[in-house]
Structure 1
Amino acid sequence: MSDRQALVLGASRGLGLVLAGELVRRGWRVIATTRQEGGELQAKADVSQGRLEVERVEMTSDGQLAALRERLDGRRLDLLFVNAAIDRGNLPIDEVPAEMFTEVMLTNALGPLRALEALRGLVAAGGTVAVMSSEQGSISRNTEPGFELYKASKAALNQLMRSYATRYAGDGQTKLLIDPGHNRTRLGGFDAPLAPEESVPAVVDVLEARAGAAGLRFLDRHGEVVPW
Structure 2
Amino acid sequence: MSTTATRQALVIGASRGLGLVLTDELARRGWHVVATVRRDSAELRDVTRAREGRVEVETLEMTSPHELAALRERLTGRALDLLFVNAAVDRGDLPIGEVPTAMFTEVMVTNALSPLRALEALHPLVVPGGTVAVMSSEQGSVSLNTEPGYELYKASKAALNQLMRSYATRHADDGRTKLLLDPGHNRTRLGGPDAPLLPEESVPLLVDVLEAHSGTPGLRFLDRHGAEVPW
**Which TM-score band applies after superposition, normalised by the shorter structure?**
over 0.9
- Residue number among 12, 15, 33 corresponding to 1:12 in the alignment: 15
CA contact (8 A) 1:20 1:30 kept: yes
Q: How far apart, in 2, do the equivalents of 1:227 and 1:38 lie?
A: 35
SS in 2 for 1:8: strand
Q: For the structure 1 residues 13 and 38, does the alpha-carbon distance in structure 2 shift closer, same or farther, using more than 3 Å as the test?
A: closer
Q: How far apart, in 2, do the equivalents of 1:204 and 1:47 lie?
A: 19
Question: Per-residue deviation at 1:42?
Answer: 1.8
CA contact (8 A) 2:141 2:229 kept: yes
Give runs of aligned pairs for residues 117-132 of structure 1, distance below 5 A.
Answer: 117-132=120-135
Is 1:173–2:197 an aligned residue pair? Answer: no
Is 1:44–2:30 an aligned residue pair? Answer: no
Gaps of 5+ in 1: none
TM-score normalised over the length of structure 2: 0.97
Question: Per-residue deviation at 1:49?
Answer: 1.9
Q: How far apart, in 2, do the equivalents of 1:175 and 1:168 lie?
A: 10
CA contact (8 A) 2:139 2:157 kept: yes
Give runs of aligned pairs for residues 164-203 of structure 1, distance below 5 A.
Answer: 164-203=167-206
CA contact (8 A) 2:15 2:41 kept: no
SS in 2 for 1:186: coil
Deviations 1:135-159 (A, max 9, x none): 0000000000000000000000000
SS in 2 for 1:143: coil
SS in 2 for 1:124: strand
CA contact (8 A) 1:7 1:32 kept: yes
Give runs of aligned pairs for residues 23-172 of structure 1, distance below 5 A.
Answer: 23-172=26-175
CA contact (8 A) 2:187 2:195 kept: yes
Q: How far apart, in 2, do the equivalents of 1:7 and 1:75 lie?
A: 10
Gaps of 5+ in 2: none
Question: Per-residue deviation at 1:45?
Answer: 1.1
SS in 1 for 2:152: helix
Q: How far apart, in 1, do the equivalents of 2:5 and 2:50 lie?
A: 17
